Amino acid sequence: MTADQTARWKQRLLLVGAGVSGALALPPIGLWPLLLVAVPLVLHQLERVPGGRQAFGAGFLVGLGYFVVALHWIGVAFLVDAATYLWMMPFAVGGLAAFMALYWGLAALVAWGLIRRGVSLALGFPAVLAAAEWLRGHLLTGFPWAAPGLAATGMGGVLQLAALIGMTGLSLLIMLWAAMPFALWRGGRERWLALAVLALMPLAHVWGQYRLASHPTALVPGVTLRLVQPNIAQDDKWRAENTRVIFDTLKELSFRPAQGAPVTHIIWPESAVSFFIDESAEARKELAEGLKGETVLLTGALRRDVRPDGSESLFTSLIVFDGTARPVDHYDKWRLVPGGEFLPFESILKPLGFRRVVTVPESFEAGPGPVSLAIPGAGKTAPLICYEVIFPHRLVDPKNRPQWLLNITNDGWFGRSAGPGQHFAQARLRAVEQGLPLARAANTGISGVIDPLGRVLARSELEDRTTLDVPLPLPLPATAYARYGDGLLAGLIAGVVLIGWRWRKSL
């Protein structure tokens, strides 16, 4: 290997390593100060590339390192039935990470093409990357998991900016702050702009702390939620011989005597039982004995509709049972997990041996979209089943704003990996963005209740079999982000790019 080839490989490894370091800023690790080193390294390398192809490659390698680490937990799902699915793991994790890295490669290409050096690049690259992150969350059904803005959940008062600019706006600001040491290193008059931008970070934290102090948690009178975390192992969950044991476990946890205020609402996780619970007269009779005509049960469940021709539509749903165990309402998940609940490009991938990880006879069908369900005794809630909570946009019905968010999930696929921690952190972001409290019931954890400013009132640990009895917080008025969505973000991106462009012209 020649000296030039060795230098190129060192440069590539440095870019991948910068991406890996960036991923460690995300929860549950939360080493966000690493971004203050990783991003300047990327900018230094990007400034030196000779052409657009190399700029794209640099951004792609950073993204590849970032997403392989940030999304590695997806591979754990393929170990549940390793004999069937293990061979798919490298395609799923590596392929998804490489596809996500394309967005970062394009961002680097555009930033390099517009503003190639100095503080202009330190401004332009975070802004263009934020635009790429927005696209990543929208195109081809979208997959905004592992956005850099998620690091704000470990940055104190900075998290409160989500109420104004949402997760992608946080991605812009965090990457912008992380880029400023590069401008400081360059020296000259660029240093003053960098210091001014960096000063916004402690100011954001102080503002966030003031917002928290100004809005103590208020509670809905007379409402106590019981979150049930049964901790059923994923490889046990769908075995027919376990159906009765799982149902009995859920009942035993649900109907334990309350230690404090009477429990008014019981919440089970996603797909809590493996049978059609709303169709089972026996199951409903047993539930009615425990609910005693007073307590409401909200449970994740499989649900089906029969078409006129006798065929069935299968849904993953939330079903609301009143105190007599009568199903009074339901919500059907509408954002389905690609590769889990449906197989994209099925006509191409199925003949190659690819299959859905969730083993039901057919792909699930999607519901109509976000709705607000009226829950007896607890106002209106916006149900979010599993993966739906990772999306900042189209989270609630804008014409029928709910009073709280309800996230039910089964993260048992992912064991004790980083996945459940990241999932819970995204639920916190949604609460702050919308100004709505959020209750979360997870099969293996993390379950909890979050107030409308992101404060965690109660949470479980992973793989505990437990219940949490928690009062329901009151909502705040609709936040700026709830009212305007990413409109403010678009203005921020345009403004930062314009400043970077004009700064470049002035050099």
Q: Where are the alpha helices (DSSP H) in 234-311?
A: 234-237, 243-254, 281-291
Residue 295, SS3 per DSSP: coil
CA distances to 19, 177, 436, 454 from 211, in Å:
33, 22, 15, 11
Per DSSP bridges, beta strands 219-229 and 265-267 are: parallel
What is the spatial distance between Cα 493 and Cα 484, in angstroms, rounded to a whole number?
15
Q: 221 preceded by cis ω (within 30°)?
A: no
Residues recognised as catalytic: 270, 333, 386
Q: Which residues contact 128 (CB under 8 A, 6 or more apart)?
A: 107, 110, 111, 114, 493, 497
Strand partners of residue 298? 267, 320
- Residue 478 structure tokens: 């609709």
What is the spatial distance between Cα 34 and Cα 442, in angstroms, rounded to a whole number?
31
Write the DSSP symbol of residue 345: T
Q: Which residues of 476-491 are buried (b: 16+ CB within 10 A; e: fewer)?
A: bebbebbebbbebbbe
Residue pointed to by tokens 């078409």? 307
First to last CA, the chain: 40
Q: 446 preceded by cis ω (within 30°)?
A: yes
Q: Outline where DSSP puts E strands in 135-255.
A: 219-229
- Residue 273 structure tokens: 């039982």
Torsion of CA 260, 263, 268, 274, to 10 degrees: 120
What is the spatial distance between Cα 337 and Cα 419, in angstroms, rounded to a whole number?
15
Strand partners of residue 329? 320
Q: Which residues contact 148 (CB under 8 A, 6 or more apart)?
A: 22, 25, 26, 35, 129, 133, 170, 171, 174, 175
Q: Taking the CB of residue 92, how many other CB atoms lie within 10 A of it?
A: 18
Q: Which residues contact 488 (CB under 8 A, 6 or more apart)?
A: 164, 165, 169, 480, 481
DSSP symbols for 1-42: --HHHHHHHHHHHHHHHHHHHHHTTSTTT--GGGHHHHHHHH
